[in-house]
């Protein structure tokens, strides 16, 4: 294989993809990076202000740090929730069970729905007066309705729950695939040694699944940090800024307060975070393969 020939061929093959990518992703992003160094209201000429926006974000009792904190908390809830649940369900589904395909299809159903639909549905479910959750609690004897999306701490949990609800099915599929790649011989060998189910799980399944777990964790982590749609539809960042996340904050700042420069800065920070997480995952993955 001629090296030079390969580079030329590669160039042609990659040209269409790189053109699309360059025009609609790279160029706008460079524009955003530039904007983060300016103060701009969307109408007048942008004014170059250097690192001022970055300093604004770093303000100790500022809203950005609160958003970052909320996003991290949201990430903890959803990454743990999705992965623990999905792994459990995948393990159960990987055995010979009747109705297996039905369960698998049903679990994936929420993944197919648009977030507009998901927001409308769950806003109703969590409604204090009409909602299902309070209706069930009422039937169980609790007379006082809980304000699910109205209490600062609770709202974030509810929103995290909805996100877990929507995406667990997707992770179940990924974990199922991973479980399938574990050679049967390992289990057969351990059966000869008289190992219990728990021991199997701890000493065979989990270690073999490490790369899969890593992938699922990274996907859910990146998704958590860039969450927007579900919060935008359900709580808009409230109550009392308790569900304000990085991107909802960016949205408010850019489109409600016309500080486009500051909003761009949030995007850059998020991007750096994502790159860092990807890099760490790569390193961990390489170590796991060793």
48 is a site residue for other proteins (CB under 8 A) = no
User: What does the block give as tokens for 173?
Assistant: 């599929």
Q: By the 8 A CB rule, do 86 and 171 touch?
A: yes
Least separation, in Å, of the C-beta of 19 and other proteins?
9
Which of 55, 58, 84, 183 forms a contact with other proteins (CB under 8 A)? 183
177 is a site residue for other proteins (CB under 8 A) = yes
Least separation, in Å, of the C-beta of 123 and other proteins?
6
Name the 3-class secondary structure at 39: strand
**Segment 193-252, which members bind other proteins (CB under 8 A)?**
197, 200, 211-212, 215, 222-223, 225-226, 228, 235-236, 238-241, 247, 250-252
Q: Is 42 left (phi over 0), alpha (psi -120 to 50) or beta?
A: left
**Segment 87-146, which members bind other proteins (CB under 8 A)?**
88-89, 92-97, 99, 102-117, 120-130, 132, 134-135, 144-146
Which of 174, 230, 231, 269 forms a contact with other proteins (CB under 8 A)? 174
User: What does the block give as tokens for 239?
Assistant: 């109550």
Which of 60, 141, 188, 193 forms a contact with other proteins (CB under 8 A)? 188
User: What does the block give as tokens for 99?
Assistant: 């109705």
Least separation, in Å, of the C-beta of 137 and other proteins?
12
Q: CA gyration radius for the chain? A: 23
**How many other C-beta atoms are found inside a 10 Å radius of the C-beta of residue 95?**
8
Instruction: Write the interaction track for other proteins spanning residues 10-29; mark x where CB under 8 A is met and - where it is not.
Output: xx-xx-xxx-xx-xxxxxxx
Closest CA to 278 of 230, 227, 214: 214
Cα–Cα dist 176/32, whole Å: 39
Which of 69, 257, 280, 288 forms a contact with other proteins (CB under 8 A)? 257
- CA max distance for the chain: 77
DSSP per position, 216-267: HHHHHHHHHHT--HHHHHHTTT-STTTT--HHHHHHIIIIIS--HHHHHHHH
Nearer to other proteins, 51 or 88 (CB): 88
Which of 84, 152, 280, 288 forms a contact with other proteins (CB under 8 A)? 152
Which of 140, 141, 184, 286 forms a contact with other proteins (CB under 8 A)? 184
Binders of other proteins: how many residues, by CB under 8 A? 127
Nearer to other proteins, 76 or 92 (CB): 92
């Amino acid at each position: 294989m001629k090296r030079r020939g390969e580079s030329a061929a590669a160039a042609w093959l990659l040209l269409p993809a790189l053109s699309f990518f360059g025009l609609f992703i790279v160029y706008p992003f460079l524009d955003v990076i530039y904007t983060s160094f300016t103060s701009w209201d969307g109408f007048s000429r942008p004014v170059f202000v250097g690192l001022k926006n970055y300093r604004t974000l770093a303000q100790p009792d500022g809203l950005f740090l609160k958003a970052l904190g909320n996003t991290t908390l949201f990430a903890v809830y959803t990454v743990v929730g999705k992965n623990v649940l999905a792994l459990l369900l995948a393990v159960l589904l990987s055995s010979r069970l009747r109705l297996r395909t039905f369960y698998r299809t049903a679990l994936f159903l929420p993944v197919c729905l648009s977030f507009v639909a998901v927001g409308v549905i769950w806003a109703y479910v969590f409604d204090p007066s009409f909602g299902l959750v309070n209706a069930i609690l009422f039937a169980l004897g609790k007379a006082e309705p809980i304000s699910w999306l109205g209490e600062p701490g609770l709202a974030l949990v509810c929103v995290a729950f909805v996100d877990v609800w929507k995406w667990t099915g997707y992770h179940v599929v990924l974990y199922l695939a991973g479980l399938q790649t574990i050679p049967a011989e390992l289990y057969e060998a351990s059966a000869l040694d008289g190992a219990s189910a728990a021991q199997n799980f701890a000493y065979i399944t989990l270690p073999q699944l490490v790369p899969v777990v890593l992938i699922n964790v990274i996907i859910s982590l990146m998704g958590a940090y860039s969450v927007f749609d579900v919060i935008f539809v359900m709580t808009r960042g409230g109550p009392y800024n308790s569900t304000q996340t990085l991107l909802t904050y960016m949205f408010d700042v850019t489109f409600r307060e016309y500080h486009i420069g500051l909003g761009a800065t949030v995007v850059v920070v998020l991007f750096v975070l994502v790159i860092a997480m990807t890099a760490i995952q790569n390193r961990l993955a390489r170590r796991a393969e060793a």
